[in-house]
Structure 1
Amino acid sequence: MNAQHNSDKHSEWQTPVDSNNEPLLIHIIDDEESVRHSCNFLISSLGLPTQMWSSALIFLQQVDIYYPAVIVSDLMMPAMSGQALQAHLNQHDSPIALIALTGQGEIADAVNMLKQGAADYLEKPINSHRLQEALERAQVLTLKRAQLYSIKKLYAQLTEKEKQVAHELMQGNLNKNIADHLDISVRTVEVHRSQVMKKMQAQHVSELIQKLVLLKG
């Protein structure tokens, strides 16, 4: 009964897509060729696009880490480990979610990676159902991060005064109230407000507030 329930759950899963309406690419990184091909077979059987890499360094040299995707990476690799790769993604604010592959005796390291922001970890040999569940979570996490990083980039364009006006709008204040609070004219508020909406790519104040709420976490 449980197996049937799990099967139904997976069959209803709608694969997340990027801004071009394409399924997220799954990057498989492992220095062992047999593991790479085994992962590739399992993930491809789910209908997801894949790309294989023999090392994290080669991956970083050739891939845009700001483009939404998912990584399935071995934890222990020469030159650059899975932990070092996760640290690099964190340092550069990449939206890519990483799933770590672990062997026996590596669980503590895998748990540490979760604390650093990894989406999940899988023990070898890989269970196909656990893999699909991990991929589902990782894809959703990647898209959420991509949305947040996009908003951060827009917000960084605002001047300090525009940020103050944006904060006032978030509180539901009208132009006259904002002018009083910031000790500026209503006309100046209108100019700043227009710039805030333009730079934040918001058509309505409600859309602006939604973005600011996501930004504030």
Structure 2
Amino acid sequence: MNAQHHSNKYLDSQRANNHLAALNSEFLLIHIIDDEESVRNSCDFLISSLGLSTQVWPSALMFLQQVDIYHPAVVVSDLMMPEMSGQALQAHLNQHDSPIALIALTGKGEIADAVNMLKQGAADYLEKPINSHRIQEALARAQALTHKRAQLYGIKKLYAQLTDKEKQVANELLKGNLNKNIADHLDISVRTVEVHRSQVMKKMQSQHVSELIQKLVLLEA
């Protein structure tokens, strides 16, 4: 196994740790993307007045160039922008399995496009001018969605570190089987099951079997 492979596994583990740790934070950074400065500023003022941290961007491309899209956050993005539209941004986030939830800002006549974005995974859409009550609802929904995605993403990264045999043992544990039954099913010794089980618990960052089961259930959902 080469050094690059070890490095990639380490980075995956660290990234999973970062994502799971980020869930301890109730409020996430809100990224505001719009090519019109006036819209950016008004949206920034409105969201900041709710006590939330914000960062503004004049384009989706600049946002992607400077932000780690695997870190839990919320994006409030204009739907129609030059270079890269809100729809293209949503597609990019989907393609890279990002936990970030996106709220689309729409103008008149763009509702159909906004609805399509909802079908593609966007958290919500807001019509301009933005209503303060609606944006609070949308942000709450987006934050909840981001937390859910980040938790799942972190668990996926942890699970990916398991060997094939460890995954088999984990699957047996999910079925509620005891070590002796697992040994019989996999045609290995009980001692070998214990070793694999210990590694599964360690790699999945689970203190108890019940915690491990909860994570495995999320993967199957």
1:206 aligns with: 210
Backbone CA RMSD of aligned residues: 1.2
Are 1:36 and 2:40 matched, yes or no? yes
Tell me the TM-score normalized by structure 1: 0.90
2:169 aligns with: 165
More displaced 10-residue stretch of structure 1: 21-30 or 205-214 = 21-30
2:194 aligns with: 190
Render the CA deviation track for 1:108-148: whole Å, top value 9, x for unaligned.
Answer: 11111111110000111111100000000101111111110
Tell me, in whole angstroms, the C-alpha distance in 2 between the residues paired with 1:21 and 1:168.
Answer: 33
For residue 82 of structure 1, the aligned residue among 86, 106, 128 is: 86
SS in 2 for 1:28: strand
Kindly report which structure 2 residues correspond to 1:136-155, keeping only aligned pairs within 5 A, or say none.
136-155=140-159
> Could you say which structure has the greater relative contact order, defined with CA pairs below 8 angstroms and 6 or more residues apart?
2
* Uncovered stretches (5+) of structure 2, i.e. residues with no partner: 1-20
Tell me the TM-score normalized by structure 2: 0.88
* Uncovered stretches (5+) of structure 1, i.e. residues with no partner: 1-16
**Which amino acid in the other structure matches residue 28 of structure 2?**
L
**Which amino acid in the other structure matches residue 78 of structure 1?**
P
Kindly report which structure 2 residues correspond to 1:1-217, keeping only aligned pairs within 5 A, or say none.
18-19=22-23, 21=25, 23-217=27-221
**Which amino acid in the other structure matches residue 89 of structure 1?**
L
User: 2:76, 2:102 within 8 Å by CA — same for their partners in 1?
Assistant: yes
